[in-house]
Copies of this chain bind each other. A is one copy, B any other.
């Protein structure tokens, strides 16, 4: 059985005008900073890149612990932050949780940073 958990996708709230085009409002800046904070950690960036580079952009938490060399609770904590920020979705299959890259979530952030 696959259980999909609801997530708060903060990336969906960050709209679409690149920040170089016109000054961000205070609210837009708060939202984008929250998203950036989820990415501003080396362990989370590594976890995200491992999941993204996996088959079907999905990985079992059991396969994420050894590559980053941290405890399972620590890895789960970082994965939860990435899930809350809307970059990953989590599903439980049997004993393990699986994390999958949300299509378009990184692209949305990328588009906010382009200068053109």
Contacts and interface: CB of A to CB of B under 8 A. Distances in A.
Interface in A11-53: 19-24, 26, 29-30, 32-33, 36-37, 39-46, 48-50, 52-53
Best-buried of A22, A48, A57, A110 by chain B (most CB within 10 Å): A110
Nearest to A27: B42
A101 B20 contact: yes
A16 to B, nearest CB: 14
A109 interface: yes
Contacts of A103: 115
A62 interface: no
Stoichiometry, as copies per complex, reads: 2
Contacts of A107: 113-116
22 contacts: A19-B45, A19-B48, A19-B106, A20-B52, A20-B101, A20-B106, A22-B49, A23-B46, A23-B50, A26-B42, A29-B42, A29-B43, A33-B44, A36-B39, A36-B41, A36-B45, A103-B115, A107-B113, A107-B114, A110-B110, A110-B111, A110-B114
